[in-house]
């Protein structure tokens, strides 16, 4: 279930492009919610300015090991710096936005 949603014409080195990796475990309920939630958050708040790679740790365990994944679902913000990690189903939009560094004051 390795799926990649890349923004056409943008490279990993483009300034300001959010590079995100979401580690999941197959089609578990938490994984499905995490995928749906992070896609919705990205489309609403980062539209046209992100790359999201969805990695099933059962299909690609070497990627999970390489990124020291200890719990899933886990999202890693690779860029822009600093790298951030968020565990859970990404249902708390404000928490996710804070983790991405783009929280809006309520």
In tens, the pLDDT along 11-57 reads 444 458 999 999 999 999 999 999 999 999 999 999 889 999 999 99
In tens, the pLDDT along 70-101 reads 999 999 999 999 999 999 999 999 999 999 99
CA distances from 85 to 8, 9, 15, 97, 106 (A): 25, 26, 20, 12, 23
Which residues, listed in sequence order, are joined to residue 23 by a DSSP beta bridge? 55, 74
For residue 93, the Cα-to-chain-centroid distance in whole angstroms is 13
In tens, the pLDDT along 19-31 reads 999 999 999 999 9
pLDDT of residue 104 exceeding 70, the answer is: no
CB 64 within 8 A of CB 48: no
What's phi and psi for 22, nearest 5 deg? -115, 115
| Rounded Cα gap, residues 48 and 42, in angstroms | 9
CB 22 within 8 A of CB 34: yes
pLDDT of residue 66 exceeding 70, the answer is: yes
């Amino acid at each position: 279930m390795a799926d990649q949603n890349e923004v056409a014409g943008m490279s990993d080195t483009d300034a300001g492009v959010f590079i995100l990796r979401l580690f999941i475990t197959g089609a578990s309920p938490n994984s499905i919610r995490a995928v749906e939630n992070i896609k919705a958050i990205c489309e609403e708040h980062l539209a046209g300015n992100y790359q999201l790679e969805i990695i099933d740790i059962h299909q690609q365990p070497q990627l999970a090991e390489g990124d020291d994944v200890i719990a899933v679902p886990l999202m890693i913000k690779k860029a822009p710096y600093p790298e951030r990690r968020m565990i859970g189903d990404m249902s708390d939009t404000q928490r996710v936005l804070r983790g991405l560094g783009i929280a809006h004051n309520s």
